[in-house]
């Protein structure tokens, strides 16, 4: 059975009234649960898994696809409205999404996130349908040196989110990398900087760190000025609550590149969607006719990471279905669900269980459509939430943050970490230190460290290994070029400013 035949067969099996009903229910539940901070797609799927396992494999997995897409969209809703990233991949969406919300353009941001998710999610699934075997071959060639080089490249890209001061961006990045080393060293079992706290043995909880730095830090900045008014303006006209034709036209290149980048990076197991979202953000900024708007509420700055975040799903399904390698937390939960249904992901899955695999892929198409049809009408409702006076909204944000962080591990210690990182987030903002490089470096740190140490183990501590393999050599070369561009580009900008001042 070729890809097209398989897909048509899958669509035929998936489009039954029962499957469609559960797909819509899954999408709705996923959005509603995913909107709660701390409950990203993996947690949402895990919570709702018992509901889906009551059905036959095809229906259950179709419902889970709906939950997954819904949860992803729910995560971007809190990022845009409240600056609370539900998971690491939503961090980049916060940058421009929240700025848009502050400018009274939350509806447009949410709308473009839904449209971008649909366009790129569809691209990702098309990629999965036709390129899965080829992409799987490339992914197999990615060993520790290639991952090390990719992470070095990705960490240098993080600096591009640094804002005006590259020095402060590097400081934030190194603090994030250092925080990621806290916990048990996976190679030796040694405890690093845990202070004999058993709760730190597994490392600092990402949700506590990200919600503290982004949400609590932002609340503390916002309440500095006592104001009787609501913090954000929300337009009253329905037309102004949704993206205009011009907004969609402006965001289309960002959506398409986000879709392609997201799929390609999603194939690589690891922090796929996080890397995908900010690589596509950087590319969108470089390609944009108005790069100066990025970081200040650019609609392309929402479209690109959201698109990448969604098409990554299609990419992440490639190693999951063809090799049984889950690329992320969500992938691990989905793998568990597949095993629960008696399916063993691997090269033979497409041959032995074509009756289940193709309906799953088909359901991803349908999930994308259901997401757009259901969530676009809900955008004005979500945006209107910002009409709430801020003195009511901020205690709610603080309490939701506490519940969200607590619900991840049922740990009071994590709530304490939330408080600590909330203060850190506030101090960083006051001192004009960008928080995004810290949070992204924290996510990429463990992957980078593992890959670097594995590579050095393989090569008897010789760094030449990075140059001996074509993919890693190319990536290292790109990283060097990027570093030169960063250094000299900034230097030139500073020099230009000095010349202007002198003149």
398 binds other proteins (CB under 8 A): yes
Applying CB under 8 A, the span of 17-25, 197-205, 267-275, 424-432 interacting with other proteins comes to 424-432
432, 462, 487, 489: which one contacts other proteins (CB under 8 A)? 432
175 binds other proteins (CB under 8 A): yes
22 binds other proteins (CB under 8 A): no
Applying CB under 8 A, the span of 20-28, 170-178, 292-300, 345-353 interacting with other proteins comes to 170-178
Contacts of other proteins in 483-502 (CB under 8 A): 494, 498, 501
Applying CB under 8 A, the span of 78-86, 313-321, 450-458, 479-487 interacting with other proteins comes to 450-458
We find the least distance from the C-beta atom of residue 196 to other proteins, in angstroms, to be: 12
Q: Which residues are CB-contacts of 129 (< 8 A; sequence separation ≥ 6)?
A: 3, 6, 7, 361
161, 171, 261, 372: which one contacts other proteins (CB under 8 A)? 171
Closest C-alpha to 317, from 123, 129, 100, 59? 129
In 83-105, which ranges are continuous DSSP H helix? 91-102
We find the least distance from the C-beta atom of residue 42 to other proteins, in angstroms, to be: 15
Applying CB under 8 A, the span of 54-62, 74-82, 91-99, 182-190 interacting with other proteins comes to 182-190
Residues 423, 56: contact at Cβ < 8 Å? no
16, 53, 407, 409: which one contacts other proteins (CB under 8 A)? 407
DSSP state letters, 260-287: HHHHHHHTSSSSHHHHHHHHHHHHHHHH
151 binds other proteins (CB under 8 A): no
Taking the least distance from each CB to other proteins, the nearer of 203 and 422 is 422
We find the least distance from the C-beta atom of residue 477 to other proteins, in angstroms, to be: 22
Rounded alpha-carbon distances, angstroms, from residue 284 to 79, 116, 413, 485: 19, 13, 39, 17
233, 384, 391, 490: which one contacts other proteins (CB under 8 A)? 391
1, 392, 484, 485: which one contacts other proteins (CB under 8 A)? 392
In a 3-state reduction of DSSP, which class is residue 188?
A: coil
Q: Site for other proteins (CB under 8 A): how many residues?
A: 61
We find the least distance from the C-beta atom of residue 32 to other proteins, in angstroms, to be: 10
We find the least distance from the C-beta atom of residue 260 to other proteins, in angstroms, to be: 33
Pairing label, strands 183-184, 191-192: antiparallel
Q: 300-323 vs 245-266: helix axis angle to the nearest 10?
A: 30
In 182-324, which ranges are continuous DSSP H helix? 206-210, 217-222, 238-241, 245-266, 272-287, 300-323
Cα separation, 101 vs 83, whole angstroms: 9
Taking the least distance from each CB to other proteins, the nearer of 35 and 357 is 35
Taking the least distance from each CB to other proteins, the nearer of 221 and 332 is 221
Q: Which residues on neighbouring strands pair with residue 184, listed in sequence order?
A: 191
Cα separation, 308 vs 271, whole angstroms: 13
Residues 347, 323: contact at Cβ < 8 Å? yes
Cα separation, 353 vs 376, whole angstroms: 35
133, 347, 377, 416: which one contacts other proteins (CB under 8 A)? 416
Residues 132, 345: contact at Cβ < 8 Å? no
x/- string (CB under 8 A) for other proteins, residues 214-243?
A: --x--xxx-xxxx-----------------
Closest C-alpha to 386, from 222, 233, 237? 233
Taking the least distance from each CB to other proteins, the nearer of 103 and 194 is 194
Closest C-alpha to 33, from 407, 411, 413, 414? 407
Q: What is the C-alpha R_g of the chain?
A: 22
Taking the least distance from each CB to other proteins, the nearer of 85 and 445 is 445
DSSP symbol at 199: G
Binding site residues, other proteins, CB under 8 A: 33, 36, 47, 164, 167-168, 170-171, 174-175, 177-178, 181, 185, 187-188, 190, 192-193, 216, 219-221, 223-226, 389, 391-392, 394-396, 398-400, 402-403, 406-407, 410, 412, 415-416, 418-419, 422-423, 426, 430-432, 449, 452-453, 456-457, 461, 494, 498, 501
């Amino acid at each position: 059975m070729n890809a097209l035949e398989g897909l048509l067969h899958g669509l035929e099996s998936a489009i039954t009234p029962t499957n469609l009903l559960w797909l819509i229910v899954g999408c709705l539940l996923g959005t509603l649960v995913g909107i709660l901070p701390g409950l990203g797609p993996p947690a949402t799927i895990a919570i709702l898994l018992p509901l889906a396992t009551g059905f036959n494999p095809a229906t259950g997995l179709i419902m889970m696809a709906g939950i997954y897409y819904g949860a992803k969209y729910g995560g971007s809703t809190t990022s845009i409205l409240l600056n609370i990233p539900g998971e690491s991949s939503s961090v980049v969406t916060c940058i421009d999404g929240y700025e848009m919300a502050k400018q009274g353009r939350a509806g447009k941001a949410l709308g473009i996130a839904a449209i971008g998710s649909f366009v790129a999610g569809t691209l990702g699934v098309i990629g999965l349908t036709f390129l899965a075997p080829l992409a799987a071959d490339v992914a197999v060639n990615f060993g520790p040196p290639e991952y090390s080089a990719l992470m070095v490249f990705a960490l240098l890209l993080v600096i591009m989110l640094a804002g005006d001061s590259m020095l402060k961006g590097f400081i934030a990045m190194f603090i994030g990398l250092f925080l990621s080393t806290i916990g048990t060293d996976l190679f030796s079992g040694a405890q690093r900087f845990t202070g004999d706290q058993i709760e730190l043995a597994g490392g600092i909880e990402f949700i506590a760190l990200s919600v503290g730095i982004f949400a609590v830090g932002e609340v503390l900045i916002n309440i500095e000025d006592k104001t009787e008014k609501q913090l954000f303006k929300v337009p009253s006209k329905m037309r102004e609550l949704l993206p205009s034709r011009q907004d969609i036209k402006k965001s289309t290149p960002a959506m398409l590149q986000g879709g392609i980048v997201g799929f390609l990076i999603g194939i690589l197991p690891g922090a796929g969607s996080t890397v995908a979202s900010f690589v596509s953000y950087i590319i969108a900024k470089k390609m944009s006719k108005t790069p100066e708007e990025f970081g200040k509420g650019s609609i392309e700055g929402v479209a690109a990471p959201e698109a990448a975040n969604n098409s990554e799903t299609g990419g992440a399904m490639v190693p999951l279905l063809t090799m049984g390698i889950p690329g992320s937390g969500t992938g691990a939960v989905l793998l568990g669900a597949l095993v629960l249904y008696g399916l063993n992901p691997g090269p033979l899955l497409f041959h032995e269980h074509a009756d289940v695999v193709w309906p799953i892929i088909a359901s991803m198409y349908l999930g994308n459509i259901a997401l757009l049809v259901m969530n676009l009408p809900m955008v004005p409702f979500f945006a209107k939430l910002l009409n709430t006076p801020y003195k009511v909204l901020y205690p709610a944000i603080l309490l939701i943050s506490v519940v969200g962080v607590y619900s991840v591990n049922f740990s009071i210690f994590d709530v304490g970490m939330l408080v600590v990182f909330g203060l850190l987030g506030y101090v960083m903002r006051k001192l004009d230190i960008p928080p995004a490089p810290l949070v992204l470096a924290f996510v990429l740190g463990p992957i980078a460290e593992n890959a670097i140490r594995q590579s050095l183990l393989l090569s008897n501590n010789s760094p030449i290994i990075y140059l001996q393999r074509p993919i890693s050599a190319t990536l290292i070369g790109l990283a060097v070029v990027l570093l030169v561009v960063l250094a000299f580009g900034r230097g030139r900008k500073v020099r230009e400013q000095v010349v202007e001042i002198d003149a």
